[in-house]
Structure 1
């Protein structure tokens, strides 16, 4: 009996130890736009800090911020600013949220490599995504229906694009995406669809752009690091990590690393504009 008691006690101690270890995992959740760069930052940090344990998952900016507020994430990744109602929800739980600017991104309009269009005004881009321009012929291209691709509504990129392009800096406050818009779950999904569809158009974070698709200039300004950093490119934005304002050393040390020279080099290497 004594033997069984000891085994049970050891097992219980093992469970408690496992729970203690699991509780130290820093959970980073949210924006698919910055999930990759956040993962690389986490991996580099863990390589330098052998006891650190970090899990990074996507799901969208809304998921990241809500997870931070409800306590299932330690860092909420977002490609949009936190909303007043989200700050109120945090305040109601007695939490103060701190905003960390991780870097800058240019939302890039992309088309198929075989599409002859190279530049659009931001007004024409808005009309395409509102469903007012429906054929490439209206823009000097082929006589073909435009296939419009957007991120889904949980995405911060979706919301930022709606506010700044579709609603033209909120001067058209009731404007929405066109009825025939196809909603995609990720930057990568949009890129793959554009790659395979000559008449598709979508938008993705600058860090996801590669030679499989063509980036469009907007108002004759290319989505380059230099143009985003000087804010010359018209669809530039900040990307964020949101954290609770606490003395959680695991989280604070990770944030400090992300903003350090080494962390910001990763930001730059992934196609974003560093803050430092």
Structure 2
């Protein structure tokens, strides 16, 4: 009887040790940042977790600035960003012993959207700049109705806000621009505002979202052809003029499960999810080679 009891205790201890061993291998990865990337990275994370029961990937938005700040403060393992890290952010990161490592994992195009009742179908980059810096304030100046233009954009912590300001507006935004906390808010506002205009990630555009909206075709200049971001071939070929890389930052080169997750985004499955989500894959050969070896 005593012998059987001893065996039972040994078996129980072995099972407990095994459980604790498995728990010690469990890894939780935190991802935070760009709202343009959040749905895409969430979809990849769910697929990744289906392949590995010992890892959890939590993805939240909040904007590129919030993601980079969280990386600097040690609150996230990976920061999604639709813009490059600033010199000021890099300075504070290094003060805290953080060395941001940039990984370009996909490409995005920005779409310019207006209400479906808007009479304007195309704009040049200069016209977009004039609209958002306040030099053009009425749709009549652009061939539309005699109505004051309502500007919608993102909040200042958004990477899209900064990208659009630096690359399209090339000036400060007009003070009348209404800053929205996310792409969904911009879309909903313009659906109810026949004079509204906004910029959104092309990956967000689908048939449901497009109800009561129109996507504006964009010309590089007045003498160029207008291209729509709904035509994926025009984005892949590089002729659509508003494209940008989607970036992720880690503290130093990723290792372990975090590296596995990053590389999973470049796998056949990850690439398919990127394309199905309305974004565009990048040539990953050099990126994956650097990630897999000791090159910095």
Question: What is the TM-score with the length of structure 2 in the denominator?
Answer: 0.81
1:56 shift after superposition: 0.4
Aligned residue among 111, 114, 132 for 1:111: 114
Report if the CA contact (8 A) 2:28-2:55 is conserved.
Answer: yes
Q: 2:183 maps to what in 1?
A: 187
What does residue range 1-276 of structure 1 map to in structure 2 within 5 Å? 24-167=27-170, 175-210=171-206, 211-212=210-211, 213-219=213-219, 220-223=226-229, 224-246=231-253, 248-276=255-283
- Cα 1:261/1:103, change in 2 over 3 Å: same
SS in 2 for 1:214: strand
Q: Decide whether the 8 Å contact of 2:26 with 2:55 is kept in 1.
A: no
CA–CA separation in structure 2 for the residues paired with 1:201 and 1:121: 14
CA distance in 2, matches of 1:226, 1:89: 40
The Cα shift of 1:256 comes to: 0.6
SS in 1 for 2:273: helix
Cα distance in structure 2, aligned partners of 1:208 and 1:238: 15
Q: What is the deviation of 1:275? A: 1.1
8 Å CA contact retained: 1:29, 1:63: yes
TM-score (norm: length of structure 1): 0.87
**Shift of the alpha carbon at 1:247?**
5.5
Query: Any stretches of 5+ residues in structure 2 without a counterpart?
Result: 1-15, 220-225, 284-296
How large is the Cα RMSD of the aligned pairs? 1.8
Q: 1:234: Cα distance to partner?
A: 1.4
Deviation at 1:261, TM superposition (A): 1.4
CA drift of 1:95 comes to: 2.5
Q: Which has the larger radius of gyration?
A: 2
Which 10-residue stretch deviates more, 92-101 or 110-119?
92-101
Aligned length: 252
In 2, distance between residues paired with 1:76 and 1:136? 38
CA distance in 2, matches of 1:87, 1:230: 33
Distance of 1:230 and 1:215 partners within structure 2: 19
Rounded to whole Å, the distance in 2 between the matches of 1:269 and 1:21 is 35
Evaluate the alpha carbon distance shift between residue 132 and residue 21 of structure 1 in structure 2; reply closer, same or farther with a 3 A threshold.
farther
Pair 1:126–1:22, CA change in 2 (3 A): farther
Tell me how far apart the structure 1 counterparts of residues 165 and 26 of structure 2 sit (CA, whole Å): 38
User: Matched residues in 1 for 2:244 and 2:126: separation?
Assistant: 18
Q: SS of the counterpart of 2:176? A: coil
Between the aligned partners of 1:262 and 1:84, the Cα distance in structure 2 is 35
Q: CA deviation at 1:24?
A: 3.0
Q: Unaligned regions of 5+ residues in structure 1, if any?
A: 1-12, 168-174
Is the CA contact 2:40–2:273 (under 8 Å) kept in the aligned structure 1? Answer: yes
Distance 2:189 2:25 in 1: 39
Distance 1:120 1:153, change over 3 A: same
Moved more, 28-37 or 259-268: 259-268
